[in-house]
Amino acid sequence: MVACVIAIATAIGVVALAAFLFRKLDRGADDRDPGGPTVGHAGGMLSALFLLVFAIAIIVPWTTADSARQNTYAESQAAVEAYWAAGALPFPTAGLIQTELRDYVGFVIDEEWRLMANGRLSPEGSTRLNTLRTQVASLNTTGADAQEAKAAVLEQVQNLNSARRQRAADAQATPPTGILVLTVVTGLVVLLFPFMAGARPRGATLLPLMAMAALLGVGVFLTFDIVRVFDGGLAVRPDAFSAALQEFQRISGMG
């Protein structure tokens, strides 16, 4: 923060020093025109800066949401693979493990997804997975097929646990606070710049300025609306887990 303040003060100092020296050396011409080269240069740079910050504020959440969506499919696929492998376990263990997997996926959809909009997961989800892993690990299996099925289920449950931790990280991920602050600040500066430059828009000249203000306001709202991956306009939906439940039914029907 201190470095940022120093950088801002240095930049402003450079402008003030340049203005002072050019005035003392009698170089250049006075520019008081709201449509002059100074205002034109500053306005263009401010607009470019706003667009840069705005693009970052949009692209970062968009990229995070896309990655989070892929992670949900990886997690649901691990659940499907575990469900499929559990079918090769001895009776009645196979049915019990598959029921636990169905309950876990249903819990994620019905209970946990609402919490993720606020950036957190339920501890119950981790408890369910740990209990499931303990149940599978404690099974006494005989025969190569049963042992292979047990190892496969344990592997997929581990993958499920890892994907869940990634989902927790995705739920907490937000763009840097400085980017959001800069979006608001540069947006306000762009809006007020004509007045700061000395212009006094009247009549029809206010219409394009108001239109720009409205669209800019929508843009700034969107940057805040998509801050969290599982909430807002880019919210990741539990489609992958709903598809996993359908796949569970298909596997059970085949059995």
Better-predicted residue by pLDDT, 202 or 65 = 65
**255: pLDDT strictly greater than 70:** no
Domain ranges of the chain: 39-254
Tell how far CA 202 is from the center of its chain. Answer: 41
The pLDDT, as a whole number, for residue 29 is: 64
Token reading at 170: 């995705």
The pLDDT, as a whole number, for residue 15 is: 65
The rounded mean pLDDT for the chain is: 88
Q: How many CB atoms lie within 10 A of CB 185?
A: 13
Torsion, Cα 72 76 81 82, to 10 degrees, reads: 110
**35: pLDDT strictly greater than 80:** no
The pLDDT, as a whole number, for residue 10 is: 78
Q: What is the mean pLDDT of residues 14-36?
A: 67
pLDDT tens digits for range 132-190: 999 999 988 888 888 999 999 999 999 999 999 999 999 999 998 889 999 999 999 99
Q: What is the mean pLDDT of residues 49-66?
A: 93
The pLDDT, as a whole number, for residue 108 is: 97
Rounded to 10°, the helix 37-86/206-225 angle is 30
Better-predicted residue by pLDDT, 30 or 40 = 40
pTM of the model: 0.81
The pLDDT, as a whole number, for residue 43 is: 80
Among residues 221, 224, 218, the alpha carbon closest in space to that of 174 is found at: 224
C-beta pairs of 184-187 under 8 Å, 24+ apart in sequence: 184/220, 186/46, 186/49, 186/50, 186/53, 186/54, 187/50, 187/54, 187/216, 187/217, 187/219, 187/220
Q: Report d(CA 194, CA 197) in Å as an integer.
A: 5
The Cβ-side half-sphere exposure at 119, using a 13 Å CA radius, reads 7
The pLDDT, as a whole number, for residue 150 is: 94
The pLDDT, as a whole number, for residue 33 is: 64
Residue 231 is given by DSSP the state S
Tell how far CA 177 is from the center of its chain. Answer: 13
DSSP helix/strand/coil, 143: coil
Q: What is the mean pLDDT of residues 27-47?
A: 73
Q: Which helix (H) or strand (E) holds 217?
A: helix 206-225
